Structure 1
Amino acid sequence: MSFSIERISGTKQDFYLTLAEQLEHLLEGETDWLANLANASALLWMQLDDINWAGFYLLKEGELVLGPFQGKPACVRIPVGKGVCGTAAATKATQLVRDVHQFPGHIACDAASRSEIVVPILIGNRVVGVLDIDSPILARFDETDQAGLELFTNKLKAMIDWDRIA
């Protein structure tokens, strides 16, 4: 595979459309969950400004377990319903948190994080994991980021054979 990834510019909406296109080109023809989640987290790390963590937690035996990511070492296991990630998994809804210190039960894996967005990955009505992105900037994420990252996650989930997760 030969694919060059360029930095994205333009409006925020255009940014996320191009990011989703880059993801599709990057993962084209590959369905392995580990390879695709690793490349997806690397792509997010490369393209998103002002973040300090980007990665995935996968639902295994009733709890979220750390998957591929970019950033500092992270919490390995998060109970469903706990913290921002666990809340996204329990509610099956994106959590857009402008100030993590105002989120009841926030789990601080990196004390530098100030805002966070977590997008659940749903196959049908079943949660298989979450995309988690942290930022050291207060209110870094907004509704446009949410829509763009939900688009990104939808493209990603369609390119993975979820039945093969070990």
Structure 2
Amino acid sequence: MMNKLAEYELILKQVEAIASDESDIIANMANISALLFESLSDVNWVGFYRVLSDELVLGPFQGKVACIRIPLNKGVCGSAAVKAKTIRVANVHDFSGHIACDANSNSEIVVPLIINDKVVAVLDIDSPIYERFDEDDQTGLENIINLFENIIIKHGVIN
């Protein structure tokens, strides 16, 4: 069995293969969400929220029906967007202001997508397992998002 960092390296290569020649951000978000949902164990929701005006708006995702709009600085997603940094939550029930879209979610990680020093979206991943996400997950997911940021910059398209 592969260790977690090796699994993320494989996912990173797959993201590069499916996204590097595609300039449409939404299409890439859809494929990245699907790939992560299929590849990661013990997750029940994977997707993107896009920053539009002063709120987060649901983007491509895999999982149950989700909240469509999240005010900035509300919940884990809004907090990660405002702080422009990854937030890992071992127990979402202990996170002040957590927005429960799926009652089965118990832990969460949110990684901001930053272009030209501006958060344009966040990657949100939920798990029914408490303490599901550790430093290896954070490193692996941040590497994937960094690659995605570079692909977006290479294509010069932000939509």
User: TM-score scaled to structure 1, two decimals?
Assistant: 0.91
The answer on whether the counterparts of 2:105 and 2:129 sit within 8 Å (CA) in structure 1 is yes
Counterpart in the other structure of 1:11 = 3
Total equivalences in the alignment: 157
The answer on whether the counterparts of 2:23 and 2:157 sit within 8 Å (CA) in structure 1 is no
Counterpart in the other structure of 2:140 = 148
Question: Which contiguous aligned blocks of 4+ residues in structure 1 show a shift greater than 3 angstroms?
Answer: 161-164
Q: Secondary structure at the match of 1:35?
A: helix
Q: Secondary structure at the match of 1:73?
A: coil
Counterpart in the other structure of 2:58 = 66
Q: Secondary structure at the match of 2:151?
A: coil
Give the letter aligned to residue 23 of structure 2: T
The answer on whether the counterparts of 1:63 and 1:80 sit within 8 Å (CA) in structure 2 is yes
Counterpart in the other structure of 1:29 = 21
Counterpart in the other structure of 1:127 = 119
1:158 aligns with 2:153: no
Separation (CA, whole Å) in 2 of partners of 1:152 and 1:108? 26
Separation (CA, whole Å) in 1 of partners of 2:63 and 2:87? 20
Q: Secondary structure at the match of 1:51?
A: coil
The answer on whether the counterparts of 1:33 and 1:162 sit within 8 Å (CA) in structure 2 is no
Q: Which moved more, 1:75-84 or 1:27-36?
A: 27-36
Counterpart in the other structure of 2:99 = 107
Q: Secondary structure at the match of 1:134?
A: strand
Instruction: State the 1:157 CA deviation.
Output: 1.9
Q: Deviation string for 1:35-64 (max 9, x for gaps)? A: 101000000011001000000000001110
Separation (CA, whole Å) in 1 of partners of 2:125 and 2:83? 18
**Change beyond 3 A, Cα 1:164–1:150:** closer
Task: Give identity over the alignment, percent.
Answer: 54
Q: Deviation string for 1:54-113 (max 9, x for gaps)? A: 000000011100000000010000011000000000101100000000000000000000
Counterpart in the other structure of 1:81 = 73
The answer on whether the counterparts of 1:83 and 1:104 sit within 8 Å (CA) in structure 2 is yes
List alignment gaps of at least 5 residues for structure 2.
none
RMSD of equivalent CA atoms: 1.1
Instruction: State the 1:28 CA deviation.
Output: 3.1
Instruction: State the 1:17 CA deviation.
Output: 1.1
Alignment partner for residue 108 of structure 2, among 105, 116, 137? Answer: 116
List alignment gaps of at least 5 residues for structure 1.
1-8
1:138 aligns with 2:119: no
Counterpart in the other structure of 1:91 = 83
